[in-house]
Amino acid sequence: MALSVTILGSNSALPISDRYPTAQILRVSERFFLIDCGEGTQMQLRRNKINFSKINQIFLSHLHGDHVFGLMGLISTFGLLGRRKALTIHAHSDLKNLLKPHLDYFCADLPYQIVFKDLNYDEPTVIYEDKKVVVLSFPLSHRIPTCGFLIKEKAKQPNIRKEAIERYQLSVPEIVAIKNGQEFIGEDGLPVDSSELLTPAPKPCSYAFCSDTRYYRRVIPIIKEVDLLYHEATFLHELKDLAKRTSHTTAKQAATIARDANVGQLLLGHFSSRYRDLKPFEEEARSVFDNAILVNDNMTIEVKR
């Protein structure tokens, strides 16, 4: 499994009996990223048997309650579990001041450091990077400053062919050099074609998160050709005027974004509590973009290479 996303919450503002507000766990290259942290997130983490200690980076799209009300409880639980490693929270600059009195009152003896990193709401920005993964934030269009997130694996090196190792008696330094693109010279003094030595590396996986936002076509070049796109679909298209007034998106509009960005698969979520039957969302989206599915709480969607 190269990449997977586990849906902890798929509803919009109001939690209902079978759908929590927005929260997701993204697993990529052995990293665990928490995206948004609605009410009930830590209960859903337990329900899905996700190890709390593996979460070191939290990305909060915006500071509406249904995307952050689970954060304070999760911070406290991390402390009760004896966490020592720093926790980094990427969010609006207001978050630190909003949390400070709660942290001072309820978590004065927190055994780990919280590192707050401010998001940029004006332009796409790299907010996390290591040797295997890069995370980009980018502006969305909502009632308050809101970011989407693009998580991408970095390109991997090609694999050496086992038969090439045996045929040319390759040493470890030679294998490393070949994988890094260095030309290999055979015993006849001629360069060996790289296709004889290497097999292409798997294509890097990618995931984009777009919630909350009105229909916003400026995201298309940023999320183009991602494997998975999670896009809010708060309303059906018959309520497109309400969607526009509240800075949300319809299922049809989300599918249009997915189609025009040529993504691999569209995941629809952030449904309004007014809807009990969600099947029309899938039907509406598939009329525009066939590879669209509805997410449910506790669902895991995988990308395999």
Tell me: the pLDDT tens digits for 278-291? 999 999 999 999 99
Question: Tell me: the pLDDT tens digits for 9-66?
Answer: 999 988 888 899 999 999 999 999 999 999 999 999 999 999 999 999 999 999 999 9
- Of 66, 212, 227, 297, which residue is the catalytic one? 66
Question: Tell me: the pLDDT tens digits for 222-277?
Answer: 999 999 999 999 999 999 999 999 999 999 999 999 999 999 999 999 999 999 99
Full 3-state SS string of the chain? CCEEEEEEECECCCCECCECECEEEEEECCEEEEEEECCCHHHHHHHCCCCHHHEEEEECCCCCHHHCCCHHHHHHHHHHCCCCCCEEEEECCHHHHHHHHHHHHHCCCCCCCEEEEECCCCCCEEEEECCCEEEEEEECCCCCCCEEEEEEECCCCCEECHHHHHHHCCCHHHHHHHHCCCCCECCCCCECCHHHHEECCCCCCEEEEECCCCCCHHHHHHHCCCCEEEEECCECHHHHHHHHHCCCCEHHHHHHHHHHHCCCEEEEECECCCCCCCHHHHHHHHCCCCCEEECCCCCEEEECC
Annotated catalytic residue 297: no
Domain borders along the chain are: 3-156+202-303, 159-199
- Judged against a pLDDT cut of 70, whether residue 1 lies above it is answered with no
Percent of the residues in the chain that have a pLDDT greater than 70, as a whole number: 100
pTM: 0.92
Question: Tell me: the pLDDT tens digits for 92-134?
Answer: 999 999 999 999 999 999 999 999 999 999 999 999 999 999 9
- Of residues 199 and 279, more confidently modeled: 279
**Which option is the CATH number for 3-156+202-303: 3.40.50.1980, 3.40.50.2000, 3.60.15.10, 3.40.47.10?**
3.60.15.10
